[in-house]
Chain A
Amino acid sequence: MRGFLTAPIGPKTLMKLERMTFMPAATNTKRNLVTAALVAPAAAWLMIFLVLPFIAMLVFAFGERAPEGGYQAAFTFAQFARLPTRAAAFWNTMVLAPVGALLCLLVAYPVAYYLAVKADPRYRLILVSLVVVPFWTSLLVRTYAWMYILGSRGIPNLLSMIGLEDVRLLNTPGAVLLGIVYGYLPLMIMPIYVSLEKLDRRLLEASADLGAKPVSTFFGVTLPLSLPGVMTGVALVTILLLGEYLIPQLLGGGKVFFIGNALVDLFLQSRNWPFGSAIAVTLVAVVVVILMVAMRIAFRVAGTRQVDLV
């Protein structure tokens, strides 16, 4: 668990691994071939659909917008120089994505805790399946439903019955956050549920036996042990949110703007592929940096509190 998703394997570890897996050369070659055969499809997939497009994007980012739109070969940093014009979209994304992920966490944790710890084991499987049931319907359709719930004929209509006239919920940052929490909740519940499910109950008993109150058991034992799940969930949701387009578009009315929306605009309206590419490259760089720092910190925290039971 400790090494999960952390820094790449260093040379020392590699040498150790090599010593551990030492075996005659012939077997080794055969093994390598099998490994290569197994890895090849995934590697080819990543190469074609991730690495090559990324290279294309890098090339585009240093180009110019053609007179009628699109890309024109050039080598210029002009696109990167214009990044500040999208500062607001970057700022919105960098604020609303983590805030959305944290709100998601606040809602998801009690649900995951209930499912993993409190729920009757006989119904657990059914309850866990219910969490993923929303995925059976497209996010687009479910977000559209929110447009009607938040629109004038939905909740504001009910509010007008108790005298609150003309309340506007749709196309506000609040509506976008609500949509985010709703849409990404299952992605947060699942990893937390998995880490809580593996929780050794004996630790909770030990904590109680030693006189800890339930609250201190939760904060001293349960929460730290579920941190890897929490971190996975937060990272997963944050990363997906950094590229979010649909929810701000539908529930933000084109006014609450994420960087994803700015990107769509640059490609589908302004037809400024180079500037769009420059923003996309920057977004990738920012995400990688944030992720590395966040994961380092998170696992250092989780690691120091990790209790190994043998």
Chain B
Amino acid sequence: MTKWYRENAPITADKLADELMRLKRGSVTRRHFLGVTGLGLATAVLARQPGLFSSTAFAQDLGSQMSIATWPNYHDPATFEAFQAATGVAVEVNVFGSNEEMLAKLQAGGTGWDLFVPTNYTISTYVKLGLIDELDLSKLPNYDASTETARFTNEGVVDGKTYAVPKNWGTTGIALNSSKIKTPVTSWKDFFEVAMTEADGRAMVHDYQLTTIGNALVSLGYSFNSTKPEELAKAEELLIKVKPHLYAINSDYQPSMRATDAWMTMCWTNDGAQLNRDMPEIQFVLGKDGGEIWSDFYAIPKSAANKAAGYALLNYLMQPENAVKEHIANGAPTTDSRVMKLLPADVTGNKIVYPDEASLTPLEFGAAVTLTDPGRAELMARFKSA
């Protein structure tokens, strides 16, 4: 292998700036950057000199690991690998089945999360309980509020302060395996009927009060967000009637759908897109009687141990070039017009990911009250232990 003639020569200022930008864009790895600029060798040598640069300016106190709390099948694993290559920070991923579970962990304390992915309706409560910090936007130069779709992102701002920035939006619909289920399912009313008949023993509902109770309410003609005792009682009656016919109560339904253990499930857009991509017989439909439209955010817990790394990863994910890869992998629609421009046509043309505006009309955003309402919480717990 021939050596470049300037291999060991000091790097020029222009070249350094150039490489730094490439690193910042995520086009090159940290290893490449340190190697080509000679900074890796320099820091390695300096690190051996006691007293010199004892504050590690280059490592930027990011530490060697951080932790994120998120949803099942929600990220491109390559994203975290690339982030680790660029910063040296390994990302531990914790997945959850409901926002309530995330809230419970944060309330109990000691989560160790440096970044997490709450859904729109929870943010005001997190702020009220003092569980999340206002974001320091100067640490997120890649985030641009002006390119975001306000409809999906407004709940990240409380009292004019930005507490959370959007990851993506989506819907909660029905995924069904058309090779197993022949009855047409177009509404939540159909969902619960088919769950007790053709899909007996093969349908799944989320382990999540918002969607499981919400969709049961919708199927009965009530609001997705109802907390009225008499409407909740009707929903409970329906859920308890359906329960013996269910395959499982679990928010991680992809493995069961892929194995065809389950034939039909409540399903988030991103999972619907992933399932349909790999198994075209699995279709994703939105309830024409209603259901949920949502957006997920990134927020940093007040208790985060490694906030620097939390910000670093968040800024990394806000970079449109990185976000595009995430969107292609997880199949959720973007809130950011910069990302939209970069997405390939087969993604933007996918009706599961970007459905017609008309089909979104009956859907409702989750309401903050459902998160803390004792009636819904206890209904869900009773349903599960019935």
List residues of chain A with CB under 8 Å of any chain B CB.
Answer: 65, 67-70, 85-86, 88-89, 151-153, 168, 170-171, 253-255, 257, 261-262, 265-272
Chain A binding surface, main DSSP class: loop
Chain B binding surface, main DSSP class: helix
List A contacts of B98 (CB < 8 A).
Answer: 269
Extra contacts besides A253-B249, A255-B243, A269-B377 (7): CB < 8 Å: A171-B248, A254-B249, A254-B384, A269-B100, A269-B104, A271-B103, A271-B107
List CB contacts (< 8 Å) of B154-191 with chain A: none
List B contacts of A271 (CB < 8 A).
Answer: 100, 103-104, 107, 377
Are A152 and B377 interface neighbours, CB within 8 A?
no
Contacts A/B (CB < 8 Å), 30 sampled: A67-B372, A69-B107, A70-B107, A85-B378, A85-B382, A151-B259, A152-B261, A153-B259, A168-B202, A168-B261, A170-B261, A171-B248, A253-B246, A253-B247, A253-B250, A254-B248, A254-B384, A257-B384, A257-B386, A261-B384, A261-B385, A262-B381, A262-B385, A265-B381, A265-B384, A269-B98, A269-B100, A269-B104, A270-B377, A272-B377
Contact of B100 among A86, A171, A270 (CB under 8 A): A270
Interface core residue of A70, A254, A261, A267 (most chain B CB under 10 Å): A254
Are A69 and B248 interface neighbours, CB within 8 A?
no
Are B129 and A255 interface neighbours, CB within 8 A?
no
List residues of chain B with CB under 8 Å of any chain A CB.
Answer: 98, 100-101, 103-105, 107-108, 125, 128-129, 201-202, 207, 209, 243, 246-250, 256, 259-261, 372, 374, 377-378, 380-382, 384-386
A46 to chain B, nearest CB (A): 23
Are B247 and A69 interface neighbours, CB within 8 A?
no
A69 to B380, CA, bound (A): 14
List B contacts of A254 (CB < 8 A).
Answer: 207, 248-250, 384
List B contacts of A262 (CB < 8 A).
Answer: 381, 384-385
Contact of A69 among B103, B201, B246 (CB under 8 A): B103
Q: A-B pairs with the 4 shortest C-beta distances?
A: A253-B248, A270-B377, A254-B249, A89-B385
Contact of A255 among B107, B202, B249, B256 (CB under 8 A): B249
Are A270 and B385 interface neighbours, CB within 8 A?
no
Are B101 and A270 interface neighbours, CB within 8 A?
no
Are B100 and A152 interface neighbours, CB within 8 A?
no
Are B101 and A269 interface neighbours, CB within 8 A?
yes
B234 to chain A, nearest CB (A): 18
Contact of B372 among A69, A168, A255, A268 (CB under 8 A): A69
List B contacts of A261 (CB < 8 A).
Answer: 384-385
Are B248 and A268 interface neighbours, CB within 8 A?
no
A153 to B259, CA, bound (A): 6
List B contacts of A270 (CB < 8 A).
Answer: 100, 374, 377-378, 380-381
List B contacts of A70 (CB < 8 A).
Answer: 107
A226 to B104, CA, bound (A): 47
Are A88 and B385 interface neighbours, CB within 8 A?
yes
B154 to chain A, nearest CB (A): 22
Are B250 and A257 interface neighbours, CB within 8 A?
no
A303 to B101, CA, bound (A): 50
List A contacts of B249 (CB < 8 A).
Answer: 253-255
List B contacts of A152 (CB < 8 A).
Answer: 259-261
A76 to chain B, nearest CB (A): 14
List A contacts of B260 (CB < 8 A).
Answer: 152
Are A266 and B246 interface neighbours, CB within 8 A?
no
A272 to B372, CA, bound (A): 10
Complex: chain A residue closest to B99, CB-CB: A269
Are B103 and A255 interface neighbours, CB within 8 A?
no
